[in-house]
Amino acid sequence: MSHVMNTYARQPVAFVRGEGVWLWDEAGKKYLDALAGIAVNTLGYGHPRLKKALLARLESGILHTSNLWRIPDQEAAADRIAEITGLDEVFFCNSGLEANEAAIKVARKYGHDRGVAEPAIIVMEKAFHGRSLATLSATGSRKVQAGFEPLVSGFVRVPLNDLEAVRQVAEHNKNVVAIFIEPIQGEGGINVSHLEYLRGLKEICERKEWLFMSDEVQCGLGRTGKWFVYQHAGFLPDVVPLAKGLASGVPVGACVVGGRARGVFKPGNHGSTFGGNPLAMTAVVTTIDTIKEEGLLDNAARVGEVIRSGLSQIAGIAELRGMGLMIGAELAQPCGELVRQALDAGLVINVTSDNVVRLLPPLVMSEAEGRMVVERLAPLIRAFAERSPQAAAAAR
Ligand SMILES: Cc1ncc(COP(=O)(O)O)c(C=O)c1O
C-alpha cells in the first residue's frame, strides 16, 4: 500500500524521462505530451537552457537565502515579469493558490484603505482559483467546496460572460471592491471570456474604482499566443496572479500588481519563507528569456491553430473552444475513460469538467507534433462518439 495520501485518482503510469514534448514511462514506452503537467512545463522536458541555468544555480551552492536579504535573481525575475505584464510590483510565492490568496488579500486591503469595512469580490461561476479556504470559497464549484464549510465570506458570484449580472451587482452592492476572473477557465472546461465582455468589466471597474484581477495561473504565460489573455482585450488589469508555467516545472507563484493595486501591500502585510528563492527565480528568468528568444508566443498561436483545425474535422465533438495552446473539446457525454485510452495510444491528455478533453501542450511543440496529437486523438474521439448512448439511440 502506498503511503501517499489518496487525494488524486491516479492513472497507473509513472513518467521517468522526458525530452522536448516526449515522455517515457518505467517500461520504456514513449508518449507525446499534450498536457505539460497541466500547463506547467512551458519549455517541455530537458530544455538545454533551463538545464544549464539550474545546474549553474546548484554549482553556486545557494538554493535559498531568505527574503530578509536582497535576492538578485528575484529582482531580475520581477523586472522581467513587470515588462511582460505591463504592471509594477511582484510578490513571489510558490503556487497558484498562494498567488490568488495574495490577490484576495490585496483586494481586501484596498477596500479597507478606502473605508469599506466588509469588502466583497465579484467571482465567476465555474471558476477555479485553488484549494485553500479563501481560494476554494472564490472557486465556483460546489464539488471543490463541499465538506469544507464554513466558507470564507465576501464573494459575490455571477455567471461568466454576463455583463448585465455584474451591472446589477454594481448598482446594489456597495461593498464590492474588485472583480476576480479567470479569463479562460481551465478546470471549468476551457470557457473563454468574450473580449467585449472583458472590456465591459474593465469599464465597470474604472467607473466604480474596483480592482480588475485576472487569474492567469493556467491561461497566462504565452499559452494563448500573447503573454496574457487581457492583452488580447487591450487593457491593463490591476492584479495578475501567476504560477504553473512561470518557471517551467520549478514550483513558483507570483502576484503581480499595478494601477490601483500598486502600493497597497506595505512591509508586514504579506510574506512567504520560500517565495522568490534563487532556485525558482533562476527558472523564471530562464523561462521568460527562452519564450522570447525562441518565439514561443507565435509558436503557441500557430501550433494551436494546427491542432484546432485538425480537431474541427472530427465528428463527435460537440464544441471546440480555446485559444492558442489552451484547447477544450467538449463531448456530448462524460468521457474520463479517454485519458486511459489516450495513454494506451501513447498520448497524454486530460479530461476536465466531466466531458471536456483538455489539451495544454508545452509551448515548444512543433506543428508536426501538433498534427500527431490530432492523429492520435481523432480515432479515440470518433470511436467514443460512435459508442455513446446518444449515438446508439440515433442509430436505432
Ligand atoms: C486558474 C487557476 N488558478 C489557480 C490554480 C491553483 O494553482 P495551484 O494548484 O498551484 O495552487 C489553478 C490550478 O489548477 C488554476 O488553474
Torsional sign, CA 40, 44, 49, 54: positive
pLDDT given for residue 14 in this prediction: 98
For the chain, the residue count is 396
Is the predicted pLDDT of residue 386 greater than 60, yes or no?
yes
Query: Is any ligand 1 atom within 6 A of the Cβ of residue 229?
Result: no
Query: Is any ligand 1 atom within 6 A of the Cβ of residue 182?
Result: yes
How far, in Å, is the centroid of ligand 1 from the Cα of 243?
7
How far, in Å, is the centroid of ligand 1 from the Cα of 91?
17
Is the predicted pLDDT of residue 265 greater than 80, yes or no?
yes
Tell me the average pLDDT across 231-238.
Answer: 98
pLDDT given for residue 1 in this prediction: 79
Ligand 1 pocket test target in 128, 137, 326, 358 with most atoms within 8 Å of CB? 128
Dist. CA 181–CA 193, nearest whole Å: 9
Query: Is any ligand 1 atom within 6 A of the Cβ of residue 185?
Result: no
Is the predicted pLDDT of residue 100 greater than 80, yes or no?
yes
Per-residue model confidence as pLDDT tens digits over 39-48: 999 999 999 9
Tell me the average pLDDT across 298-303.
Answer: 98
pLDDT given for residue 396 in this prediction: 56
pLDDT given for residue 394 in this prediction: 60
Query: Is any ligand 1 atom within 6 A of the Cβ of residue 223?
Result: no
Tell me the average pLDDT across 174-200.
Answer: 98
How far, in Å, is the centroid of ligand 1 from the Cα of 386?
34
pLDDT given for residue 262 in this prediction: 98
Dist. CA 73–CA 79, nearest whole Å: 10
Q: Enter the C-alpha cell of residue 394.
A: 440515433
- What backbone phi and psi angles, to 5 degrees, belong to 105? -65, -40
Tell me the average pLDDT across 334-344.
Answer: 98
Tell me the average pLDDT across 280-300.
Answer: 98
Is the predicted pLDDT of residue 96 greater than 60, yes or no?
yes
Is the predicted pLDDT of residue 353 greater than 70, yes or no?
yes
CA distances to 101, 307, 331, 337, 387 from 383, rounded to whole Å, are 42, 19, 12, 12, 6
Is the predicted pLDDT of residue 389 greater than 90, yes or no?
no
Dist. CA 20–CA 211, nearest whole Å: 39
Ligand 1 pocket test target in 129, 182, 185, 213 with most atoms within 8 Å of CB? 129
Report the mean per-residue pLDDT for the chain.
97
pLDDT given for residue 136 in this prediction: 98
Dist. CA 15–CA 178, nearest whole Å: 41
Is the predicted pLDDT of residue 395 greater than 60, yes or no?
no
Query: Is any ligand 1 atom within 6 A of the Cβ of residue 217?
Result: yes
Q: What percent of the chain has pLDDT over 90?
A: 97
Query: Is any ligand 1 atom within 6 A of the Cβ of residue 101?
Result: no
Confidence of residue 388 (pLDDT cuts 50, 70, 90): confident
Dist. CA 4–CA 26, nearest whole Å: 19
Closest approach atom of ligand 1 to CA 187: 16
Residue 44 zone, left/alpha/beta (φ > 0; ψ -120 to 50; rest): left
Confidence of residue 58 (pLDDT cuts 50, 70, 90): very high
Closest approach atom of ligand 1 to CA 130: 6
Query: Is any ligand 1 atom within 6 A of the Cβ of residue 129?
Result: yes
pLDDT given for residue 393 in this prediction: 63
Confidence of residue 338 (pLDDT cuts 50, 70, 90): very high
List the strands of the sheet with 319-323, edge to edge. Answer: 319-323, 326-330, 356-359, 350-352
Query: Is any ligand 1 atom within 6 A of the Cβ of residue 330?
Result: no
Specify whether the CB–CB gap between 258 and 88 falls below 8 A.
yes
How far, in Å, is the centroid of ligand 1 from the Cα of 137?
14
How far, in Å, is the centroid of ligand 1 from the Cα of 244?
7
Residue with grid cell 501591500, as numbered in its chain: 265
